[in-house]
Amino acid sequence: MIKDLKNQPFVTYIIVAINIIVFLMMTIAGGSSNTQVLLAFGAKYTPFIQQGDWWRLVTPMFIHIGLMHLVVNMVTVFYLGKIVESLFGHWRFTIVYLVSGVVGNIASFVLLPANISAGASTSIFGLFGAFMMLGESFKDNLYIRLMARQFLTFIVINLVFDIFLSGVDIYGHIGGLIGGFLIAYVVGAPKLGKNDLIKRFLSGIILCIAIALFLQIGMRGF
């Protein structure tokens, strides 16, 4: 039974369940579109983070504004997450999901300070970024190469739409994408093969420097 569980993308299922539970709690508390409820549950809001609410760099990836926002993101997490988790393994997938989400929220914290932001999109773009790393590292794998091309097309289309749609946190999406690409290099994907150690090291250094720099800029005000 334990062996069967290990072969299941249970981290993906847990993430989806947490998001749904939080959404139900927000609905009971007054509605997921209510500004006060959003802030109470941990939506990203730069002035509050500058005052010490660092946890708001983590919690937004589990909060959604409206039912459609939740449904679209959770369907994406469910299908994309299962693929990425099967390739990276459970704990590496968890790290990629959480770190890319935080990096996306940091980017939004700095570059979109006036907006209240929430959603799993930062982490979702991080998963796409992780797959881009796989596409770059394992070009000889036909499945990975074809999937990476499809995801790249999806990423480009989404970012183009983000430019023209109001209320979309494009900086969070781009930050999550880059964060996912870099952290995926750091953790690697042993199921597929070994990553270049130099690339892993450099990716970790770049990621740490970028996070430190953005946090410093964000605290001072961009």
Residue range 51-96, pLDDT digits in tens: 999 999 999 999 999 999 999 999 999 999 999 999 999 999 999 9
pLDDT band at 222; cut points 50, 70, 90: low
Q: How far apart are CA 27 and CA 13, in angstroms?
A: 21
90 is catalytic: no
Of 64, 100, 137, 173, the active-site residue reads: 173
Q: What SS3 class is residue 51?
A: coil
What pTM did the predictor assign? Answer: 0.93
110-127, pLDDT tens digit by residue?
999 989 999 999 999 999
118 Cβ contact list (under 8 Å, min separation 6): 38, 43, 44, 60, 63, 64, 65
Q: Residue 195 pLDDT more than 80?
A: no
Encoded tokens for 152: 């790249």
Number of domains in the chain: 1
The helix (run of H) or strand (run of E) holding residue 59 is none
For 16, 159, 178, the CA distances from 46, given in Å and listed in that order, are 26, 23, 21
Of 32, 121, 123, 137, the active-site residue reads: 121
The DSSP annotation for 97-136 comes to HHHHHHHHHHHHHHH-TTS-B--THHHHHHHHHHHHHHHH
Phi, psi of 146 (to 5 degrees): -65, -40
Encoded tokens for 51: 């005052």
pLDDT band at 220; cut points 50, 70, 90: confident
Structural domain that includes position 163: 2-220
Q: Residue 3 pLDDT more than 70?
A: no
Lowest-pLDDT range of 46-50, 137-141, 198-202: 137-141
117 is catalytic: no
Query: Tell me, what CATH number does 14's domain have?
Result: 1.20.1540.10
